[in-house]
């Protein structure tokens, strides 16, 4: 049964409405169809509507031999930092930064531009040139954004991680891209505790031998002080110049380094923020994120809409479960971005912000990180705000953006993502590689290239890893690894991951990082970690096979969790650890995580014939957890 929960009011002035009118379309569906049938024309129009600064050129879209080789704006030049710094009035607030302990600071657009100019000069003085990598192991604070914008001004490539990642996990990520400069934090706050990290900085430095300098956030202002007053200096760059490296872990080996075009991420994010969310200049935009998640990049891009971005670093429910709603009220947010897990947790806490808080300024509540359950839709409208555009989003690190998101001119239906983003040829394919029928479950795919598709993976000669990651499911079609179905409303319903990559607290992590820690324990013969759909979100279950003569005690379990927390990150700690008699393997002796993932989620096992020991699945099938 399809239940409508919200209907937009006046849509006459919205960007989508203007675009539909200009092109002579009556419906969003018709506009969307045009946008994917004419990618060059659409993304050229998005460039103009988003007021991108630069030389657009004339080659808006060049189809390639395949998805990977297609190119956008091949004769364009622009600078991402220039676009992010050009939209605000000097005396208005650009960034609000809030720490868990309540310390709050503001940065005007004028101050932001001044500090970025100084940072650019300081980085140049440190020897940073176009194409160099600069990295940050940092909390979500304004210095991180200033540092990133300074690097992007030069054409350096930026990569960030949150400070709860252990040095070995930092090495696994940053070590691959051989960075020149590190921005690091001496400490960070979480859940009422202050975590000192000075000693870890020294360890990280020893693990990253290409570093020529490390700047601590506590020293950041003194580092740029000699260069204050320097003029902004933006290097014009090709559209396909790398701007960011993000990390999406596979199931074997080190995390994969995804190279993103800075301009591609900019254009994709600004198009979403304009068309799908109607974000305007001087609105206040917040998303609960760390610097280790692509939503940090997405939030930073909102500067390009002239919006004020509000940063928060800390636990979302400390010191009280209403903390994020307190921020929404106090900062008079227009856009409140949350994780599906947080919304579910607020529901379970019994919070009713509709009566306890003044949320009158909020126009959009966005949710991502995992599937937003139908019950959470109900909770938002019944207990948070009855008249709000609730936009459940789906995309990820791989594209630094969304396949499916909000459509502000359309109704919201219970449990549904409203529609595919403009320019995104999002579909659901069945096992035959055909577009699935309405309500038929299948793989979420994208059939037409888009500007924020990765440029490639780091050190991936011939794009072998790139091809294997997204194009093995269906030839020439991006397969994202999500189970989904299409609705008769034009929306989508998501059911969770369809691959073996874990989704832990909204962050995708690979199993190899878990195994490397767990399998050092003398009691453990082998291990397998999988995601299980659970109470409207996902939970990670770690199965361990114990060596003969050893036992698995509560103390061993505690030690495994402690080791994962300290040697990887808190996100790598499983929700549940269970002892299994044996794990399924292929005939070539590889563990088959996907088969166990399917079984514990009640799905049919794919390629059972490829297993050397298919009988091992019976134990997982009969598991009652």
Query: For the residues of 114-133, what is the DSSP string, one character each?
Result: HHHHHHHHHHHHTT--TT-E
* Contacts (Cβ under 8 Å, ≥6 apart) of 28: 16, 20, 407, 409, 410, 419, 490
Q: Write down the pLDDT at residue 441.
A: 86
Which phi and psi (to 5°) does residue 104 adopt?
-125, 140
Q: Write down the pLDDT at residue 473.
A: 86
Q: How far is CA 59 from CA 29, 70, 255, 422, 576, in A?
A: 26, 12, 34, 20, 52
Q: How far is CA 127 from CA 150, 174, 178, 179, in A?
A: 13, 19, 15, 12
Q: Write down the pLDDT at residue 610.
A: 52
Q: CA–CA separation, 422 vs 41, rounded Å?
A: 12
For the chain (625 residues), the mean pLDDT of every run of 10, in chain order, is: 95 97 97 98 98 98 96 98 98 98 98 98 98 98 98 98 91 96 97 95 98 98 98 98 85 78 98 98 96 95 98 96 98 96 88 98 93 91 98 95 98 97 97 93 95 97 93 92 92 80 66 81 90 84 94 96 92 94 71 86 72 86 84
pLDDT digits (tens, 9 = 90+) for 86-111: 999 999 999 999 999 999 999 999 99
Q: Write down the pLDDT at residue 250.
A: 44
Q: Write down the pLDDT at residue 505.
A: 61
Strands (E), 169-293: 181-184, 187-190, 193-196, 213-216, 237-238, 242-248, 256-261, 284-287
Domains 4-78+239-492 and 510-621 share a fold: no
Q: Write down the pLDDT at residue 504.
A: 67
The listed CATH number (3.20.20.10, 3.40.50.980, 3.10.20.90, 3.30.1120.10) that belongs to domain 111-232 = 3.40.50.980
Q: Which CATH class is domain 510-621?
A: alpha beta
Q: Write down the pLDDT at residue 107.
A: 98
Residue-range domain boundaries for the chain: 4-78+239-492, 111-232, 510-621
Sign of CA dihedral 431, 436, 437, 442: positive
Q: Write down the pLDDT at residue 590.
A: 62
pLDDT digits (tens, 9 = 90+) for 493-552: 987 777 766 766 666 666 767 887 898 899 998 899 998 888 877 899 999 999 899 999
Q: Write down the pLDDT at residue 361.
A: 98
Coil vs helix vs strand at 305 = helix
**Which CATH topology does 4-78+239-492 take?**
Rossmann fold (3.40.50)
pLDDT digits (tens, 9 = 90+) for 226-236: 999 999 999 99
Q: What is the pTM of this model?
A: 0.86
Q: Write down the pLDDT at residue 516.
A: 76
Which residue has tokens 């599937």? 371
Sign of CA dihedral 38, 44, 49, 52: positive
Q: Which two three-digit tokens encode residue 292?
A: 């280790």
Q: CA–CA separation, 509 vs 333, rounded Å?
A: 31
Coil vs helix vs strand at 163 = coil
């Amino acid at each position: 049964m399809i239940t409508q929960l919200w209907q937009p009011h006046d849509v006459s002035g919205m960007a989508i409405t203007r675009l539909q009118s200009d092109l002579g379309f009556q419906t969003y569906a018709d506009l969307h169809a045009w946008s994917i049938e004419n990618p060059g024309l659409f993304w050229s129009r998005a460039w103009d509507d988003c007021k991108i600064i630069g030389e657009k050129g004339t080659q808006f879209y060049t189809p390639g031999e395949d998805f990977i080789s297609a190119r956008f704006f091949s004769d364009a030049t622009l600078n991402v930092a220039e676009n992010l710094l050009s939209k605000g009035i000097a005396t208005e607030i650009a960034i609000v930064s809030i720490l868990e302990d309540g310390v709050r600071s503001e940065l005007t657009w004028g101050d932001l531009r001044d500090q970025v100019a100084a940072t650019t000069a300081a980085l140049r003085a440190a020897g940073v040139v176009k194409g160099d990598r600069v990295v940050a192991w940092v909390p979500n604070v304004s210095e991180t954004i200033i540092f990133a914008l300074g690097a992007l001004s030069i054409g350096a490539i930026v990569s960030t991680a949150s400070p709860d990642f252990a040095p070995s996990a930092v090495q696994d990520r940053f070590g691959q891209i051989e960075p020149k400069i590190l921005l690091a934090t001496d400490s960070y706050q979480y859940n009422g505790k202050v975590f000192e990290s000075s000693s870890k900085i020294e360890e990280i430095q020893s693990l990253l031998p290409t570093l020529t300098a490390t700047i601590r956030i506590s020293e950041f202002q003194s580092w740029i002080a000699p260069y204050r007053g320097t003029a902004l200096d933006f290097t014009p760059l090709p559209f396909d110049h790398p701007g960011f490296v993000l990390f999406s872990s596979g199931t074997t080996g080190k995390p994969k380094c995804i190279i993103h075009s800075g301009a591609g991420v900019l254009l994709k994010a600004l198009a979403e923020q304009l068309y799908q969310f109607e974000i305007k200049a001087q609105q206040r935009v917040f998303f609960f994120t760390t610097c280790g998640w692509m939503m940090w990049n997405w939030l930073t891009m909102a500067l390009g809409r002239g919006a004020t971005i509000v940063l928060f670093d800390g636990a979302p429910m400390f010191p009280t479960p209403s903390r994020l709603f307190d921020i929404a009220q106090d900062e008079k947010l227009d856009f409140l971005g949350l994780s599906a897990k947080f919304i579910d947790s607020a529901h379970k806490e019994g919070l009713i912000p509709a009566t306890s808080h003044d949320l009158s300024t909020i126009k959009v509540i966005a949710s991502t990180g995992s599937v937003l359950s139908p019950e959470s839709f109900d909770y938002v409208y019944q207990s948070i705000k009855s008249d709000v555009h609730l936009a459940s989003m789906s995309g990820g690190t791989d594209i630094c953006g969304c396949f499916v998101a909000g459509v502000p001119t359309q109704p919201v239906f219970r449990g549904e993502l409203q529609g595919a983003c403009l320019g995104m040829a999002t579909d659901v394919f069945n096992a035959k590689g055909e577009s699935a029928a309405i309500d038929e479950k299948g793989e979420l795919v994208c059939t037409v290239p888009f500007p924020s598709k990765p440029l490639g993976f780091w050190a991936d000669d011939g794009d072998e890893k790139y091809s294997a990651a997204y194009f093995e499911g269906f030839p020439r079609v991006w397969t994202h690894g999500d189970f989904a179905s299409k609705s008769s409303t034009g929306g989508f319903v998501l059911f969770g991951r369809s691959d073996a990559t874990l989704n832990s607290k909204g962050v995708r992590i690979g199993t190899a990082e878990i195994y490397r820690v767990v399998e050092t324990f003398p009691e453990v013969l082998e291990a397998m970690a999988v995601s299980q759909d659970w109470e409207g979100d996902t939970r990670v279950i770690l199965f361990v096979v114990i060596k003969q003569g050893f036992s698995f005690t509560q103390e061993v379990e505690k030690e495994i969790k402690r080791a994962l927390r300290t040697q990887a990150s808190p996100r790598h700690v499983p929700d549940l650890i269970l002892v299994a008699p044996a794990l399924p393997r292929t005939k070539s002796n590889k563990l088959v995580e996907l088969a166990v993932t399917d079984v514990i989620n009640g799905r049919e096992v794919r390629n059972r014939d490829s297993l050397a020991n298919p009988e091992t699945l019976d134990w997982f099938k009969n598991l009652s957890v």
